[in-house]
Amino acid sequence: RLCEKYMTDYKDKYGGRNLVVSMLDITDRSKAEADIREAYEMQTLLNAMLQRSLENVPLPDKLSRHLSDLLAAPWLSVEAKGAVFLATPRSRELVMAAQQGLSPELITKCAKVPFGTCLCGQAAATGLPAISTDIGPEHQITYEGIHAHGHYCAPIIAEGKVLGVLNLYLKAGAALSERQVRFVRAAADVMAENILHSQVEEKFSQSQKMEAVGLLAGGVAHDFNNILTAIKCYTEFIRKALAPGDPKLDDVNEISSSVERAISLTRQLLAFSRRQILAPQVVDINKTLGEMTNMLRRIIGEHITLKTNLFSAPCLVKADPGQLEQVIMNLAVNARDAMPGGGTITLETEIIRPDEEFFYVRPELPIGQLVRLRVSDTGTGMTAEVKSRLFEPFFTTKEQGKGTGLGLPMVFGIVKQSNGEIEVESEPGKGAAFIVYLPFAEKPLSFKDGEAKGKDKDKGGKAEEPAAGSHETVLLVEDEDTLRRLGERVLRNNGYTVLAAADGQAALKLMEERGQPVDLLMTDVVMPGMSGRDLAKALHRKKLIGRTLYMSGYTDDAIVKHGVLEPGIAFIYKPFTVDALVLKLREVLDGPADKAKA
């Protein structure tokens, strides 16, 4: 017991001096004061960790400074050494991210710790603290000359998942008090928030990078589509001018074939840059996978086993069916190419209800139920560097001539344009898994939602039958000289009266001087200065146009919302054929005016 002694003296009635000694038991008070002081210091340390969490420093540095402060706390019965590990769920390993006081030998041995191995691995595997007061059989990682000590391994947990482990070395025979255990748990929670924040920052940085590359890719595809439209249409003129059996037709066919390959590349670029026009419907991914299974088996080959593990209920998502099939196809082919010696591809679906922290790490996903599509393989896996560049256009690990480097970027763009997310888990020699998250759709779309799939969505191709000669007046607005001359030729050859302008301002001036309306405005969407949409609205207000046909090599927010054409918009997608353009003109002019609005 702890006591305070008080002494006093006094004189009695006989004049003698007397000494009085009083003893006060202050054990409880002293303990309470120590508890208050310790609680204050704990809160001060936690506040310092929280303040540090706001600093813009790399995660390993932040964790290292947190660890240093913890090990310096005089009231914590720990040695001046410890470590912080980060979890890699796919390989079920802990990777050392920060350490203090560990020997070089121990740093090497503990660089990667499998789940379940040693005390740290046990904490990661169970999600519960792993505790020892001395060296025992659970110490599976040891070295010569190791001295007696204990461990307190606290799992770092968020959204129900183990993100890492905080490993504190205890003095031999010592144990943490209940309050200290709560403190260590709170410190681990701060680290969990730091790890989550780091993941969000990494995703945001990657998203910005991909957005920048996407804008560049979209611009390149737009310019290429203008060029390809001219090549494609002039090739048609040459073909029609040649007599059957003319040897020059072989050359023309080679040009046409090359153009189609180039068109395929630009479409992949547009998919990556999220500039495609989509025709979304409510689709059951389970049904799509079922319909594709036989085709996928033929594509991946007999040396690879294809397994499916589909959720028991329909996995409904709002997506373009053709684009969804393209995602599945590309992921399966990518998995096949990672297993030249054979292996297994597994396709899995599930409807999940993630918690708030899941969406905190993935801020672009709409909150709610999600459908998870997982495509995994048992192939060669990939390094962290390769993983970080997977979705970049033209990045490929295949030998020259074996791949364009556009398959996975196209998958990325389609998923993003469908309001989803795609993630990859992989390590060298341990295969790979691509996980796609898409919002769960609860009811089918109306025809209006998907009307871009019908006649308003024209991507070119051979028309069934060119239209007969016409008589209407068309205002053609195109900033590319070659395409403007091409358009004038096609229109005049088919009986139309043509007025042509190189940009929006020139078109406005031309129509104001004319003073009479034209039957149709045929305009490019993306032009310098005034956009095609702004031009159409201005002419419509002046009642100088009857109908509008937009054309473009990629989508623009002016006429497209989230990849879907606005209702009532008439649109033809570059590159188109001469016959497709002629047919589209008649469709717009002969159809209802409210299907070709400005």
Domains, in order of start, for the chain: 1-52 (no CATH), 55-176 (3.30.450.40), 203-272 (1.10.287), 281-439 (3.30.565.10), 452-595 (3.40.50.2300)
Between residues 399 and 247, the one the model is more confident about: 247
Q: Name residue, tokens 């497209």.
A: 560
Whether 463 has a pLDDT exceeding 80, the answer reads no
| Residue of 49, 128, 62 lying closest to 98 (CA atoms) | 62
Query: DSSP states of 427-449 as a string?
Result: -TTS-EEEEEEEEBP-SPPPTTT
Task: Report, as an integer, the average pLDDT of 452-458.
Answer: 40
Q: How far apart are CA 234 and CA 195, in angstroms?
A: 57
Q: DSSP secondary structure string, 263-315? A: HHHHHHHHHHTT-PPP--EEEEHHHHHHHHHHHHHHHH-TTEEEEEE--SS--
3-state secondary structure (DSSP) of residue 350: strand
CA distance linking residue 279 with residue 256, whole number of Å? 27
pLDDT of residue 388: 81
Residue 479 near residue 503 (C-beta atoms within 8 A): yes
Phi first, then psi, for residue 349 (nearest 5°) are -130, 155
Between the CA of residue 399 and those of 206, 394, 396, 403, 410, what are the distances in Å?
A: 26, 12, 8, 8, 20
Q: Does the pLDDT of residue 41 top 50, yes or no?
A: yes
| pLDDT value for 373 | 96
Q: How confident is the model at residue 465 (pLDDT cuts 50, 70, 90)?
A: very low
What is the DSSP secondary structure assignment for residue 470, as one 8-state letter? -
pLDDT at 444 over 60: no
State percent of the chain over pLDDT 70.
Answer: 84
Instruction: Give the residue carrying structure tokens 């391994």.
Output: 153
From the number of C-beta atoms within 10 Å of its C-beta (0-12, 13-18, 19+), residue 583 rates as buried
Percentage with pLDDT > 90 across the chain:
29
pLDDT at 30 over 50: yes
pLDDT for 280 equals 81
